[in-house]
Amino acid sequence: MHIARLQVINFHFGNTMKTRTFLKTAAALAAVLTFGAVQAQNTPIKFQLDWRFEGPAAFFLTPVAKGYFKANQLDVTVDAGNGSGGAVTRVASGTYDMGFADLASLMEFHANNPDAPNKPVAVMVVYNNTPASVMSLKKTGIKTPADLNGKKLGAPVFDAGRRAFPIFAKANNVSSVQWVTMDPPLRETMLVRGDVDAITGFTFTSLLNLEARGVKAEDVAILPYAENGVKLYGNVIIATPKLIKENPAAIKAFLQAFTKGAKDVMANPAAAINDVKARDGIINVALETRRLQLAIDTVINSPDARAEGFGQLKGPRLSLMASQVSDAFGTKTRVNPDAVWNGSMLPSAAELNVLPAKR
């Protein structure tokens, strides 16, 4: 009697243990399958920056670091670049899905490669104004665009400001300048040495480079293109036509996460620089924080950006820029403004309302 009861108890105990083991195994398997399903849903996006990991790169590195892209089921990798032209061609080749590039460079690629099968398209504006400017030392006496007549200007041949200088010259009746070409690292050095009277470049790059060469900011005269009759858009986020056609939801998710990160960056640039330093440990934190703040103040949270809205553009201004780029760059065909822009995947107006109040 007792033996039979003991056998029954053992039988039930054995079944209970087996059941528990089965349930644990099933739960673990379900967790693995669920994790795998979530992982499988994360769309990989290879993103090409226009330049090195400097201050403005925080706009893309911060949403990566904070997990905003992953929260939108994207697996985003961000790589440093070596110029807008390179970013455009790498996205065009399909090596990268998306990138960050000067809109004028994108327009030039379209107009010079009309038969290219994979011309990238701008899907969001980040720099509402071109960061290009003419910079000189105040001791040269250059105070207005008219003072540039007969002067010697220096810049690399591919510099965005130099490429667009005919637009600046036309807007300001500058008729004659002499160009001196050099490699990018020598641009500011040649200005300091007096080899050239002025240079063109991105304000937030060349100004800080001049300071690094011992020039005080108050001794530099700056003629920003945006404040002297040149309303070119600056850098934009670009995407491949393939991605736009096959997965526009991924682009929309990217832009939404990017916008959320942009709000954080503008609210606390000093904190955002830590995300840049995580990718390039040798950056000068103080210098790059200043560079980031300069970019925010001059081309991201600019008066034009506040008027048009973050991320967006206006058709008439885009058309004018297309015409100006066609003329200034001497493109093979005219730039078609409708072919270079697609704003259908932008976040909502409420989500795009991220620009800080004017300081």
**DSSP secondary structure, 271-300, as one string:** HHHHHHHHH-TTS-HHHHHHHHHHHIIIII
- Cα(328)–Cα(336) distance, integer angstroms: 15
Nearest CA-CA partner of 174 in 199, 197, 146 = 146
pLDDT band, residue 83 (cuts 50/70/90): confident
Nearest 5 degrees, angle CA 101-CA 105-CA 253? 30
Kind of pairing, strands 132-137 and 198-202? antiparallel
CATH architecture of 132-227: 3-Layer(aba) Sandwich (3.40)
The model's pLDDT over 28-76, given as tens digits with 9 standing for 90+, comes to: 555 544 444 444 589 999 999 999 999 999 999 999 999 999 999 999 9
Q: Where are the domains of the chain?
A: 42-128+233-340, 132-227
- Cα(311)–Cα(346) distance, integer angstroms: 8
What's the pLDDT score for residue 41?
A: 80
Asked whether the predicted pLDDT for residue 221 surpasses 80, the reply is: yes
The model's pLDDT over 125-135, given as tens digits with 9 standing for 90+, comes to: 999 999 999 99
Asked whether the predicted pLDDT for residue 10 surpasses 60, the reply is: no
- Cα(150)–Cα(143) distance, integer angstroms: 14
Helix 84-93 to helix 103-112 angle (10° resolution) is: 50
Nearest 5 degrees, angle CA 320-CA 322-CA 326? 120
Tell me the Cα Rg of the chain: 27
Joined together, the tokens standing for residue 225 give 């293109």
Could you please report the per-residue DSSP string of 137-166?
A: EGGG---SGGGGTT-EEE--TT-HHHHTHH
CB within 8 Å of 150: residues ≥ 6 apart: 176, 177, 178
What's the pLDDT score for residue 1?
A: 45
Joined together, the tokens standing for residue 7 give 């056998």
- Please check whether residue 338 is in contact with residue 313, taking contact to mean a CB–CB distance below 8 angstroms: no
The H or E element containing residue 301 is none
The model's pLDDT over 106-120, given as tens digits with 9 standing for 90+, comes to: 999 999 999 999 999
Asked whether the predicted pLDDT for residue 11 surpasses 50, the reply is: no
The model's pLDDT over 20-35, given as tens digits with 9 standing for 90+, comes to: 555 555 555 555 444 4
Joined together, the tokens standing for residue 61 give 């590195």
What torsion do the CA atoms of 316, 321, 322, 327 make, to the nearest 10 degrees?
130
Number of Cβ atoms within 10 Å of the Cβ of 306 = 14
What is the fold of 42-128+233-340? D-Maltodextrin-Binding Protein; domain 2 (3.40.190)
pLDDT, average across residues 301-316: 96
- Cα(124)–Cα(261) distance, integer angstroms: 14
CB contact burial 257-290 (16+ within 10 A = b; e otherwise) = bbbbbbbbbbeebeebbebbbebeeebeeebbbb
- Cα(59)–Cα(68) distance, integer angstroms: 12
Q: In what order do the strands lie in the sheet with 235-239?
A: 74-79, 43-48, 98-102, 235-239, 121-125
pLDDT band, residue 161 (cuts 50/70/90): very high
Nearest CA-CA partner of 335 in 103, 96, 83, 90 = 103
